[in-house]
Chain A
Amino acid sequence: MQTFLRAALALGLALPSLTSAQSLKIGVINSVTGPEAPIGENLTNGIKLAEEDLAKRGTKVELVWEDDTGKPQIAMSAMEKLATRDGVAGVVGPYTSASANAVAKLAQRYQVPLLVPAAAKEEITRQGYEWVYRLNAPANIYAQVLLDAVTELGKPKTIAFVYENTDFGTSTADAGKKYAEKKGIKMVADEPYSKGSPDYRSTLMKVKSLNPDLVFMVSYVVDAILLMRQAREVGLKPQAFLGGGAGFTTTQFASDKDISNLVLTSTQWADDVKWPGASEFAQRYKAKFGKEPTYHAACAYAAMMIMADTAAKQSGDRKKIRTALASGSWKGIMGDVKFENYDGYTNQNKHPMLVLQIQKGNYVAVYPPEFATKKAIYPFAGW
């Protein structure tokens, strides 16, 4: 009887969602489950490290975690809940481009500051939403930095695109296609694929027969592994394999040395870059979670630090937080962060991206020169 009453009471209290104290709440929307979960885990862990650091500093924040399962509609639901029921001061996330784009609209409508840590789709900060901020560089930079790097290393003339036909894959590939055209590199193959297929051999064979100088791939982790394995099988040998972030930046991919060697990939962050605290962050992450962090962890960490600090200084007032984000500048493991309006972007941080190359199972930064720690090996030596 007693437990039943207590349960009923708890139910009654839970529904109208009381906030027990005036604690500062920050919402987090992330892909904790679903196909994007392995990378989502990096964001979660990055934010957990941020939580630790904030506690050390005495900044009191309460995080409200929401899982969007990788689906934009669920992210939107989560945003609604955070904005209206939980009364958060601001939101960090989501991870995927599709979710971030969908949530941006709601952030604008409910007037809640949103800081997107790692989503690539350009449109997110091209809609004039003054409540939406993005820390990472958008999709066009993914392609730009890669193609800039290879055109400095050699003279490729043709390029083939193989990418997953999702939001992320398509928008990054499109950005790549536009920039390749600008650079005078001819596209000889455009192969979107449905992810989750066991067999890419036919597509790769088709690409091989067209003999491209570059193969630009945008894939998630396991597709990246499968694609490269099957590329090796069919003997596809371009001057370079270009990986558009995501799957190509994980250690799981890199550790498969047979297939990952000499792949070039663009990334938002690397642990050997000279940004304050970057390598310490990587070491801390590895010590605590047992694996190397991807750039997503760094982005999420930085985003949470910025959001929490700003929210604390502005005592949780959403309007003041927005103004503070728009005018502030920070320096941390992601380098200099300042949200600016330029070229049709609103509140976009002009984050420089790096090109990493996997050499013998390790990621080394090879471009741009100011961040490079090693020289790139080009062209691809073959299998």
Chain B
Amino acid sequence: MRVLLQSAASGILIGGVYALVGIGLTIIYGVMRVINFAHGELLMIGMYFTWIIFTVFGVDPFLSILITIPGMFLFGALLQKVLINRVLNALPQNQILLTIGLGLVLSNLVMLIYTSDYKIITTGYSSSTLSLAGLRLSTPLVISLVITSAITTVLYLFLLKTDTGQAIRATAQDRDAAQLMGINVKRMSVLAFGIGTALAGTAGALVSPTYYIFPQVGGAFTLKAFVIVVLGGMGSVVGATLGGIIIGITESLAAVYISSGMKEVFVYVLFLLVLLFKPSGLLGRSRM
């Protein structure tokens, strides 16, 4: 029983990180209808960014999020303007290929600059734990869950209450109608990609104290991000949050009760089941 609870708790904590990645992807899809296969690489860039700030300036990875968020936002906006914008009206297959290509370019550029050496951030609290109701929880993961919740709440309020946020949601619901209403949909796309990138990069920053950093780290996260987004419903922020937690728990329990090597199989099988039987996901699509 103890193992079950501990494992579930562990899953929730890692699920929070997954959720952040998923939310970024779902916003990009929701607004731009672009399937961003380079999302994992954006996370990887966020990790390297954090690592640079940590090693050069000595700033704690969690604190450096204040720099990472705007930095990654600008990077995402740039990518959108230069690359993604050109394929907004192209075949979805071409969009996918473009983002795959982009992902390859990003990960290999980083490899060229930093080599494939695995980098690891060691902080004073990297392996410390908190005790809660007899369960041991990893301190850095708890902190990242708290920060994730904060960011998600702020994002949700932004989308719901502010004019820009509502404009983004309008664009997601119906691009043409939004344009007719006077919303600058091009700008919304830039914003959406910027926000999506910032979230992915932040997820990278949050997970960097507990994981390691290498150029190909994005790959594993991209596919999982898609699973989460489909599970939660393409375009739904709340859905992606739920999806992330569910996937985190599934993985964790599968690792304990089946085998560590097979845990991803369960995630992918769940993915296929959702695609086949409830493709709109838990919370439907295009509702942010």
Contacts and interface: CB of A to CB of B under 8 A. Distances in A.
Interface of A: 33-35, 37-38, 165, 191-194, 196-203, 205-206, 209, 221-222, 225-226, 228-230, 232-235, 252, 256, 258-259
30 contacts: A33-B115, A37-B117, A38-B118, A165-B261, A193-B260, A193-B261, A194-B260, A194-B261, A194-B264, A197-B220, A198-B210, A199-B10, A199-B255, A201-B6, A202-B253, A203-B260, A205-B7, A205-B256, A206-B3, A206-B255, A206-B256, A209-B3, A225-B120, A228-B127, A229-B127, A232-B127, A233-B129, A234-B136, A235-B136, A259-B127
Contacts of B120: 222, 225, 252
Across chains A and B, which 7 residue pairs bring their CB atoms closest together, nearest first?
A: A222-B212, A229-B127, A202-B255, A193-B260, A222-B118, A202-B256, A198-B211
B255 A203 contact: yes
A259 B129 CA distance: 13
B261 A192 contact: yes
A33 B116 contact: yes
Nearest to A164: B261
A53 to B, nearest CB: 27
A235 B251 CA distance: 21
Nearest to A191: B260
A199 B14 contact: yes
Contacts of A228: 127
A192 B116 CA distance: 24
Contacts, number: 94
A194 B7 CA distance: 18
Q: For B118, B136, B212, which residue has the most chain A Cβ atoms within 10 angstroms?
A: B118
Nearest to A220: B118
Nearest to A165: B261
Q: SS class of chain A's interface: helix, strand, loop or mixed? A: helix
Given A37-B115, A256-B122, A203 B211 contact: no
Given A196-B220, A203-B255, A38 B117 contact: yes
B259 interface: yes
Nearest to A198: B211
Nearest to B129: A233
A199 B128 CA distance: 15
A38 B115 CA distance: 9
Contacts of A37: 115-117
A5 to B, nearest CB: 31
Given A226-B210, A252-B120, 17 more contacts: A34-B116, A38-B118, A194-B264, A197-B260, A201-B7, A202-B252, A202-B253, A205-B6, A205-B7, A225-B212, A229-B127, A229-B210, A232-B127, A233-B129, A234-B6, A256-B122, A258-B126
